[in-house]
Amino acid sequence: MNSKIGLLAGLLVVQLVLVGVAWFAGRGEEASEAFLDLDPAAVTGLTISGSADESVALTRVSDGWQVDGLPADADKITGVIDKLAGGAANWPVATSTDSQSRFEVTEEKHQRRVDFLGEDGTLASVYLGTSPGYRRVHARRDGEDATFSIDFAVHELPLTVDDWLDKELLADSGIRRVELSGGQVLTQADDDAGWTLDGVVTDPEATRRYLERFERLSVLGRYQPKEDAALGEAKSVVVDTADGTQRLTFRFDEPEDEYVLTSDRYPGEFTVASYVAEQILGDPADLLPKADAAAEADGAPEPAEAAAGDPTT
């Protein structure tokens, strides 16, 4: 009898635990809400700042985003907006003003402040502070006391222009003609059957690889000149596409082992890895079929030409 009572009591305890779990889960779902009540499409700008004077401003333009007047990484920006605006905020971890300093989400002490701007002013402002766990951060909406733990990380909001810059801002596609640094001209044949270099048919695979260097051209960031910087000779390449022409000018920074790149498309100077620049500025003969490249290197006439000029034939 006692054993049966014990068994029934145990089953009752299990049922109560299950009911409690379901109740708390339901309460959690009811309490869950978007961390920010704003429409991502209404955001026209972001200002991101730290506790110090560091800050960066991102602005939406007709064809994407800009940072410091240059194209910005639109995918990265929209990802941040969607994540902060659409992220869930369940029960707050604290509601007292005393806890805000500990979690570093106050106006005076924070790791990041993010202002979401719209056509008519500020849509929302958020303070991000310490991390309670992997890819979690304490967050507080400006003007409210509650602090939440949300799915985000402070490193997703860097404070430098280079971190938001579209690294492929100088890349080109739909290339029709390239004037190499030595003056040779790589152009597409009229019938689209292939490419020629100063009238000589090029190697298709070598040409494809060369054009891909422009299509995948990626800068490291903006160039920050040093007082003792001594850049090498300027070498320019002109790229013609269906959308226009771009002149790329490279100068080697030997102490830094990288190239400084300028373009007539955007203001300023950028840095690019040495191997990228050297592939673009490489030997034009590499674009020719092997026999033509060898003949050009040797300065020898083609076999047919030699036979025509040989008096013994």
d(CA 135, CA 129): 12
Please say if the pLDDT value at position 23 is more than 80: no
Please indicate, yes or no, whether residues 199 and 124 belong to a single structural domain of this protein: no
pLDDT tens per residue across span 208-220 = 999 999 999 999 9
Number of domains in the chain: 2
Please indicate, yes or no, whether residues 192 and 140 belong to a single structural domain of this protein: no
User: Is position 3 within any domain?
Assistant: no
Please indicate, yes or no, whether residues 160 and 258 belong to a single structural domain of this protein: no
User: Is position 54 within any domain?
Assistant: yes
Q: Once rounded to an integer, what is the mean pLDDT over residues 189-213?
A: 91
Please indicate, yes or no, whether residues 156 and 184 belong to a single structural domain of this protein: no
Distance of CA 171 to the CA centre of its chain: 13
Please indicate, yes or no, whether residues 110 and 185 belong to a single structural domain of this protein: no
- Residue written as token pair 């300065």: 299
- 105: three-class secondary structure by DSSP: strand
Which domain-ending residue is among 164, 190, 206?
164
Range of the domain at 80: 35-164
Q: How confident is the model at residue 2 (pLDDT cuts 50, 70, 90)?
A: low
In this prediction, residue 157 carries a pLDDT of 97
In this prediction, residue 296 carries a pLDDT of 59
Please indicate, yes or no, whether residues 209 and 160 belong to a single structural domain of this protein: no
Q: How confident is the model at residue 27 (pLDDT cuts 50, 70, 90)?
A: very low
User: Is position 15 within any domain?
Assistant: no
Q: How confident is the model at residue 46 (pLDDT cuts 50, 70, 90)?
A: very high
Please say if the pLDDT value at position 9 is more than 80: no
User: Is position 7 within any domain?
Assistant: no
Length of the chain: 313
User: How many Å is the maximal CA-CA distance in the chain?
Assistant: 125
pLDDT tens per residue across span 69-92 = 999 999 999 999 999 988 777 789
The model carries a pTM of 0.79
| Amino acid in the structure at residue 163 | D
Please indicate, yes or no, whether residues 149 and 191 belong to a single structural domain of this protein: no
Handedness of CA 159, 163, 165, 170 (dihedral sign): positive
Q: Once rounded to an integer, what is the mean pLDDT over residues 166-171?
A: 97
Q: How confident is the model at residue 18 (pLDDT cuts 50, 70, 90)?
A: very low
User: Is position 5 within any domain?
Assistant: no
Q: How confident is the model at residue 5 (pLDDT cuts 50, 70, 90)?
A: low
Please indicate, yes or no, whether residues 189 and 118 belong to a single structural domain of this protein: no
User: Is position 203 within any domain?
Assistant: yes
Strand partners, 195: 188
